[in-house]
Amino acid sequence: MKRIWERFALATTANLGLKLLSVVIALALWIFVNAGQKASERAIEVPVEFRNIPSDLMVTNPSLDQVEVRMMGPPAVLSTIDSDRLKVTLDLEGARPGTSTFRLTPDFFSPPRGVRVTRVSPSIVNLKLEAVAVRSLPVKVRVGEKPPFGYKITAVEASPEMVKVQGAASEVNRMNAVDTLPSELEGTQGKTTREVRLDSGGKGISFSPDRVTVSLVLEEEWITREFQGVKVKAKDSTGEYKVNPGQVYLRLSGPKRVLAPLRVGEEHVYLDLKGLQAGNHALPLTLRLPPEVKVIEQRPSRFRVRIDSP
């Protein structure tokens, strides 16, 4: 044991002067570098975190993520400061509904030796705390765009139909439903199913679940239109002719995209006189309508035509 102690004493005292000289040189070099530089100022964004928030309360005013701390000191030291090590922790244990005020002074922080805090912005933090409410509310599906012309949404479903809503009582208690984010239509018709998030509206409200499955059914819209007093003329006549009556009434059905803009004229309805001799004839009306359009009613069904010799 004695021999071990002698070896330890010899190791610690060997080159003692050289070791002391190294320490002195390092210290002098540090003093020279920092003393030779003018003190500068640095603004650091310091993160803010809350602790011990009562389970029946929540912070409802705009969240404070960070504060600006301005420090002055040697540049070499300022450059090494880590903002996470200076983070602001606000303890809300025992807080009650209402406003809690925290004052941030330079003494709130512990900067490195030789550095001082010159300003904290904001220096006063007011946190509004509200009671938490939980409700089950129906889901309301929002569609991001109107259906194409001639189409309509015939079915909208959300699964699940009800979700649990949690947030500040002042917000949750006045809600009647939970909106989804806009759901876009795909294609022109048929059923589409997709997963869509629920919209909190930036009010600090949470949902369980936070997304639903939305099903939309898009179908072509059919309409019925009446055309009264459509003039009736003839084609391919070999002589003069007279038509009685000279008009027709039509009631048509078809897709809205086709029938809504349709204008019925001579190219759509006429009497075909091709190959007929002079004299009196009872003829049906020739119809040249879009294939999707159907005739529901026509009055009259036949027309009297008198053809004179050329």
pLDDT for residue 251 is more than 90: yes
Question: How do residues 191-223 score in pLDDT, each as one tens digit?
Answer: 889 999 999 887 888 999 999 999 999 999 999
Sequence-distant (≥ 6) Cβ neighbours of residue 282 within 8 angstroms: 302, 303, 304, 305
Question: How do residues 38-91 score in pLDDT, each as one tens digit?
Answer: 678 888 888 888 889 898 888 887 667 888 989 888 888 888 888 777 788 888
* Encoded amino acid at 162, one letter: M
pLDDT for residue 30 is more than 70: no
Give the predicted TM-score (pTM) of the model: 0.62
* CATH number for the domain whose boundaries are 222-307: 2.170.120.30
What does residue 31 show for φ and ψ, rounded to 5 degrees? -65, -40
CA–CA separation, 162 vs 177, rounded Å? Answer: 9
Q: How high does pLDDT run on average in the chain?
A: 85
Q: What homologous superfamily does CATH list for 133-220?
A: YbbR-like domain (2.170.120.40)
pLDDT at 181: 93
Question: Burial letters for 31-52: b for 16+ Cβ neighbours within 10 Å, e otherwise?
Answer: eeeeeeeeeeebebebebeeee
CA–CA separation, 225 vs 75, rounded Å? Answer: 83
Going from N- to C-terminal start, the domains of the chain cover 1-36, 38-122, 133-220, 222-307
CATH class of domain segment(s) 38-122: mainly beta
Pair of tokens at residue 185: 């239509």
The reply to whether 38-122 and 133-220 are identical in fold is yes
Residue 5 pLDDT grade (very low, low, confident, very high; cuts 50, 70, 90)? very low
User: Do the beta carbons of residue 221 and residue 253 sit within 8 Å?
Assistant: no
